[in-house]
């Protein structure tokens, strides 16, 4: 479903190069629930931008459902994005639209008929427990509720993949668990879920409970992958070699 094959991404600044990702190899299967864990600067945002086609890799290729994103034509990008539902840390709801309109709006832009929108928006909102707050504006909701609206919006057009970028970053701890459990429920209906976060404790707790796969990024590399223990050994060897090179240089 999602494949990263020897993917590297380097950002060029005025007189410097910033390596965000280095030789990343990840395969995520259909229906998997994966946490992408890492500290700030580990390469999580770049990882997401590559999936969402906001950026292109410097080397290697990214595939979604077998489609090579490095070769896809620009005008085809919107249609590929429709296969995903994205949840952002800052919710990205439109403040002048009601809860209903925010969800309907995302469906409108993907050219879904009004009849379907009328049927599916209340359904999506009922899945996240907000069917009684359809007419509220986002500012009238708590952080957790706003994030649930964002989840409903991501789900409404029936995507095959849900991508969440630090979904608990702006909400309190009790709500965080609720949101994560919501993703677990979504995953139960065979939707692939990729949650990118830096919250180790929350991830450890949930991964232990639901047996989720956890991929840890560090310095732009895959430091560990619970589905592939050998990755951690390779990473450790690479780090050791680097520090050895460092001593040699000195």
Residues that bind another protein (CB under 8 A): 52, 54, 75, 78-82, 85-86, 92, 94, 106, 108-111, 113-114, 153, 157
Helix axes 114-127, 143-156, angle to 10 degrees: 140
Q: Which is nearer to another protein, 33 or 88 (CB)?
A: 88
CB of 122 to another protein, least distance (A): 18
Are the CB atoms for 137 and 95 separated by under 8 Å?
yes
CB of 178 to another protein, least distance (A): 23
Regarding beta strands 213-218 and 221-225, do their DSSP bridges make them parallel or antiparallel, or are they unpaired?
antiparallel
With tokens 């986002």, the residue in question is 138
CB of 81 to another protein, least distance (A): 4
CB of 96 to another protein, least distance (A): 9
Q: Which is nearer to another protein, 70 or 83 (CB)?
A: 83
CB of 63 to another protein, least distance (A): 18
Q: Which is nearer to another protein, 195 or 222 (CB)?
A: 195
Q: Which is nearer to another protein, 78 or 173 (CB)?
A: 78
Q: Which is nearer to another protein, 100 or 235 (CB)?
A: 100
Distance CA 122, CA 132 (A): 9
60: left (phi over 0), alpha (psi -120 to 50) or beta: left
Q: Which is nearer to another protein, 109 or 185 (CB)?
A: 109
The kind and range of the H/E element at 207 are: helix 200-210
Q: Which is nearer to another protein, 27 or 81 (CB)?
A: 81
CB of 18 to another protein, least distance (A): 21
CB of 83 to another protein, least distance (A): 8
Distance CA 32, CA 190 (A): 8
Structure tokens at 28: 């995520």
DSSP class per residue in 139-155? GGS-HHHHHHHHHHHHH
**DSSP helix, strand, coil percent of the chain (3-state; round to 5):** 45, 25, 30
Helix axes 143-156, 173-188, angle to 10 degrees: 20
């Amino acid at each position: 479903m999602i494949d990263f094959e020897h993917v590297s991404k380097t950002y060029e600044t005025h007189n410097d190069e910033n390596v965000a990702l280095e030789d990343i190899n990840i395969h995520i299967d259909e229906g998997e629930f994966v946490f992408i864990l890492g500290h700030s600067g580990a390469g999580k945002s770049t990882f997401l931008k590559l999936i969402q086609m906001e950026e292109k890799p410097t080397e290697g290729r990214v595939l979604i459902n077998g489609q090579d994103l490095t070769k896809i034509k620009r005008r085809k990008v919107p249609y590929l994005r429709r296969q995903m539902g994205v949840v952002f840390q800052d919710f990205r709801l439109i403040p002048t639209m009601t809860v209903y309109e925010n969800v309907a709006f995302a469906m409108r832009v993907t050219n879904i008929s009004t009849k379907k929108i009328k049927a599916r928006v209340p359904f999506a909102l009922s899945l996240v427990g907000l069917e009684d707050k359809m007419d509220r504006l986002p500012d009238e909701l708590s952080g957790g509720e706003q994030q649930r609206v964002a989840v409903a919006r991501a789900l409404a057009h029936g995507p095959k993949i849900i991508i969440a970028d630090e979904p608990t970053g702006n909400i309190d701890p009790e709500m965080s668990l609720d949101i994560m459990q919501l993703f677990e429920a979504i995953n139960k209906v065979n939707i692939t879920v990729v949650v990118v976060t830096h919250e180790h404790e929350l991830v450890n707790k949930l991964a232990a409970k639901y047996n989720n796969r956890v991929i840890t990024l560090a310095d732009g590399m895959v430091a560990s992958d619970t589905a592939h223990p050998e990755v951690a050994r390779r990473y450790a060897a690479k780090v050791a070699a680097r520090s050895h090179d460092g001593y040699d240089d000195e």
